[in-house]
Amino acid sequence: MSNSPRFNIMSSLIACRECDLLQREIVLPPGGTACCSRCGAVLHRSKPDSLDRTLAFTVGAAVLFILANVFPVVGLEAQGNRTSTTLFGTVRTLHDQGMTSVAVLVFVTTILMPMLDIGAMLYMLLPIRLGVVPKGLPAVFRLVQTVRPWGMVEVFMLGTLVSLAKLSHIAAVRPGIALWSFGMLMFLVAAAAVSFEAHDFWAQVAAAGRRGRRFHAKTAGMETAR
Ligand SMILES: [Zn+2]
């Protein structure tokens, strides 16, 4: 354990994700880290305002995701002909040209999975920030863990940049708003994932649940008194 000479011992237990050792949970000071006593793996960190920061990054990512899908990714100009396309336009063109499997791959990894990831994070974080536990929270939490590895915006960015570098010899290439948005989206999604602390999140869920139960109990009491 680090960052504090004194710890309060809590009654709950915590399992190490690396070696499965069950340990007593302690209250950490702000910025403190709890490590496994057997293998040294990080059990959890106390990051002040981690959920607020994650929510801010996620809202930013949602705005950029909309821009990335509404505006053209790139504009090309060759021999007086201009052409530009959005990301969904690219998917449709690939499908029309008989490359349906590539179209599905691009759609799933750059549109569907990032959309589910950002949408699910907002669905979980916004109500918890307001002190309300959203319906089906555990399932949505697992959905985020499942879809996250399949969001490959960075692979798309890399592929697009390599293609543009090659195309620049035969046509004038103009990066569109969507390309810049995708670039920034990549960093915001990564920042949201890094700043999210599952331990703090579930602690806030438990606190919101307790407040909700007290509120319902009070309301039921008022109705009985009437
Ligand atoms: Zn361990």
Kindly state the average pLDDT of the residues 37-61. 91
Q: pLDDT tens digit string along 4-45?
A: 334 444 568 889 989 999 998 888 888 888 999 999 999 888
Residue 28 sits at φ, ψ, to 5 deg, of -95, 150
pLDDT attached to residue 215: 63
> Does the pLDDT value for residue 2 go beyond 60?
no
pLDDT attached to residue 225: 58
Q: What is the torsion angle, in degrees rounded to the nearest 10, for the CA atoms of residue 59, residue 60, residue 62 and residue 63?
A: 120
Kindly state the average pLDDT of the residues 163-168. 84
CA of 18 to the centre of ligand 1 (A): 5
pLDDT attached to residue 4: 39
More confident residue, 199 or 41: 41
Q: pLDDT tens digit string along 200-214?
A: 888 889 888 887 777
The length of the chain in residues reads 226
Least confident of 8-17, 71-80, 182-191: 8-17
CA of 62 to the centre of ligand 1 (A): 36
Token pair of 130, please? 């307001």
CA of 45 to the centre of ligand 1 (A): 15
Cβ atoms 175, 76 nearer than 8 A: no
CA of 101 to the centre of ligand 1 (A): 42
CA of 42 to the centre of ligand 1 (A): 8
pLDDT attached to residue 97: 92
> Does the pLDDT value for residue 140 go beyond 50?
yes
pLDDT attached to residue 8: 46
CA of 198 to the centre of ligand 1 (A): 17
CA of 137 to the centre of ligand 1 (A): 27
Cβ atoms 141, 213 nearer than 8 A: no
CA of 39 to the centre of ligand 1 (A): 4
How sure is the predictor about 174, in pLDDT bands with cuts at 50, 70 and 90? confident
Whose tokens are 């009985």? That residue is 224
Q: pLDDT tens digit string along 122-136?
A: 999 999 999 899 999
How sure is the predictor about 148, in pLDDT bands with cuts at 50, 70 and 90? confident
Kindly state the average pLDDT of the residues 131-155. 90
pLDDT attached to residue 61: 96
Q: pLDDT tens digit string along 90-110?
A: 899 999 999 999 999 999 999
